[in-house]
A and B are shown apart, each in its own frame.
Chain A
Amino acid sequence: MSKSPTQTIMRSGLGRARGLGSAKSGTAHWFAERVSSVALVPLTLWFILALFSLAGAPRAAVGAWLASPLNAALMLALILITFQHMAMGLQVVMEDYMHEEKPRLLAILAMKGITGILALMSIIAVLKLAIGG
């Protein structure tokens, strides 16, 4: 008779139910933050270079710039990845420094909601300029 493999879990059932201790998603969060930072290196450089011609330019120039599909696509990528990277970074800051469970959870949810709305507003603005002309 072969014995089935067993694993001893040292954590209490209550601790697991309340999500205390490792939530088993730390590595994925850490890695996604690094991947987004790598993507932001060229995107940020591209945006800074673009700003040299856009700073002080009239509104029509911004529209003309985003009328180029390449510029609009890179701008959307910059917005998506910036806000994703920002939300992940702010979440870690909140998890590190807010020790009370309830305010921390509320702050993280509020932060995710706000960053999500800001990202959507920016995306819609870019799409409107890129497609609406």
Chain B
Amino acid sequence: MKDVREALFVGTATDGRTVRRPLSPHLQVYKPQITSALSIFHRITGCALSVGTLLLVWWLVAAATSDAAFATVSMVLHSWIGHLVLFGWTAALWYHFCAGIRHLAWDLGKGFELPQVHASGALVLIATAALTLLTWLIGAVIV
């Protein structure tokens, strides 16, 4: 035992074995469901968007540095792999945006009934797909 807190994690399984209680994320004890899947996806997209901010920083710093630096970032962003990354970034952004608004509604105490939770979850997925496609459609028309 490395830590005094670990004394609190000793438990007994149904067959009598002594086990260490699971710590979060303890996904192994849950059946996958839309509620938990969308919850963990909110975190995953948050982490992905954190990495994605590197693109924003690179773009801004290049624009503030030189024509050559800006040409490099433009070339990368306009390559097929750049478009693929930007598409993923857009999808992650819209998901985190929509799921975040769903979380804010919960924080206001709204939409906690299970049928409402399932409906808002489906709505988040539909809105993410629609907004991502709309963004690229407008982008394709304008740019």
A binding-site residues for B, Cβ under 8 Å:
15, 20, 34, 37-38, 40-41, 44, 48, 52-53, 55-56, 59, 62-63, 82-83, 86, 89-90, 93, 96-97, 99, 101, 115, 118, 121-122, 124-126, 128-129, 132
Contact = CB atoms under 8 A, between A and B. Distances in A.
B61 A122 contact: yes
Given A37-B104, A59-B67, A52 B46 contact: no
Interface of B is mostly: helix
Given A52-B139, A53-B142, A86-B53, A125 B60 contact: yes
A59 B43 contact: no
Given A93-B43, A96-B25, A121 B101 contact: no
Nearest to A124: B64
Contacts, number: 79
B64 A89 contact: no
Nearest 3 A/B pairs, CB to CB: A125-B64, A125-B60, A59-B70
28 contacts: A15-B4, A20-B5, A37-B104, A40-B100, A41-B100, A41-B101, A48-B93, A52-B139, A52-B142, A56-B74, A56-B78, A62-B63, A93-B46, A93-B47, A96-B24, A101-B3, A118-B53, A118-B57, A121-B57, A121-B60, A122-B56, A122-B57, A124-B64, A125-B57, A125-B60, A125-B61, A125-B65, A126-B64
Contact of A82 (B24, B53, B74): B53
A82 B50 CA distance: 9
